[in-house]
A and B are shown apart, each in its own frame.
Chain A
């Protein structure tokens, strides 16, 4: 153990590895914490989560993106959208077959595992 960090300490995220994140503290100490104990911040203090046991951290501000006034998929655009069936047909055009999906996964080195859902009640 390198250090015990208080909840909501600000740290810099250096690296991610599996379920862990390598972070450095303001005084320059480095260590690994569970990825799920790390919360990012957008610069607004009210945005931080308040986990009772989870320590809450902030990363550096390097990842903060700001873009204002973008035209995109807004509420109004969705509500006023006219159906575009031609684009639905294009979706069909790019559809994958199970054979293609399996071949791609094999090349990517993906191997299936048996993992049960975490839900108390099983999904139907």
Chain B
């Protein structure tokens, strides 16, 4: 009996060795970039239809912010920058996306405008900041921009501009592990995001951000009607003034926005109108400007 058992074991060992050999060979083949190169049709379909991940949203936002800051850098006032980050994050904490990497900044431009990039970067110009009378008005502006991020208004517009192939081509570039090709694809998204600041969002997105912004300001303890005050200030600026040219091109007129708020709001936020407008820290920060 003994020899037969030994023989059987020997066969078994040989088979295992052969299997292991084939497996390693197969793995080698799978890891070969040439084999990995092409995504299957089903992979492509899945890529085209998938949602942009939060990490990708943040990457796109960073790239767009870098372009924006290339056009106008941050105002060299650390106190002011820290101040608006505290106000901005306090507002963002009252929303459904409190954990995004929220960052706020005042950029060195006399133009009157504010921008949000996907993933939670909000930049307003010194020209707009200087028009604000109170922290409540600052909160109104920041909460409007925060609303665009919450609703992914910019991200959706960028995706529309790029088309569904963009995600497929990005996945392809990642699979092929080609650095330059990947960079090129991200760059296309950053360009689309920058163009959005020149073209503007849908009017409906702006009206929605006004309404949501007032609600977020009210949640954070501010008088939500301070945003109305900002819109009235903007309405006083001559539309032919170059400092408002881009903002007026990309947004409905302040009067239209006030009409829309008036029609949609009713008296639903009146109960919060006696909340905070003025704060000592706003006055203190501006004293250092």
Contacts and interface: CB of A to CB of B under 8 A. Distances in A.
A70 B246 CA distance: 12
B215 interface: yes
Interface in B93-131: 93-94, 96, 98, 101-103, 105, 107, 109-111, 113, 121, 125, 127
Interface residues of B, number: 95
A4 interface: no
B262 interface: yes
Given A66-B238, A83-B66, A18 B273 contact: yes
Interface string B60-71: 001101111111
A27 interface: no
Interface in B146-164: 150-151
Interface in A82-124: 82-85, 87-88, 90-92, 94-98, 100-102, 104-105, 107-119, 123-124
Given A94-B105, A115-B215, A36 B228 contact: yes
Contacts of B264: 118
Contact of B71 (A77, A85, A92): A77
A81 interface: yes
Interface stretch (B18-26, B32-40, B81-89): B81-89
Contacts of B63: 83
Nearest to A117: B215
For the residues of B in contact with A, the DSSP-based class is: helix
A78 interface: yes
Given A49-B259, A92-B103, A107 B70 contact: no
B233 A108 contact: no
B281 A107 contact: yes
Contact of B236 (A54, A59, A100, A118): A59
A110 B222 contact: yes
A72 B233 contact: no
Given A42-B236, A113-B272, A35 B228 contact: yes
B174 to A, nearest CB: 21
A63 interface: yes
Interface residues of A, number: 74
B150 A39 contact: no
A119 B65 CA distance: 29
Contact of B241 (A66, A87, A101, A110): A66
Interface stretch (B2-10, B42-50, B165-173, B248-256): B248-256
Contacts of B273: 18-20
Contacts of A47: 235, 239, 253, 255
A44 B239 contact: yes
B194 A94 contact: no
B262 A37 contact: yes
Given A35-B228, A64-B238, A115-B215, A78 B198 contact: yes
A83 B67 contact: yes
B93 A78 contact: no
A40 B89 contact: no
B72 interface: yes
Contacts of B78: 94
Interface in B242-270: 242-243, 245-246, 249, 253-256, 258-259, 261-265, 267-270
B212 to A, nearest CB: 6
* 9 closest cross-chain pairs (CB), A and B: A49-B255, A18-B273, A110-B221, A72-B111, A87-B69, A81-B71, A40-B235, A83-B66, A94-B81
26 contacts: A36-B265, A47-B253, A49-B253, A49-B258, A50-B259, A51-B258, A59-B232, A63-B236, A64-B237, A73-B113, A74-B242, A81-B194, A83-B190, A87-B74, A91-B65, A91-B105, A96-B82, A96-B88, A101-B90, A102-B90, A105-B220, A110-B220, A110-B222, A118-B215, A123-B150, A123-B151
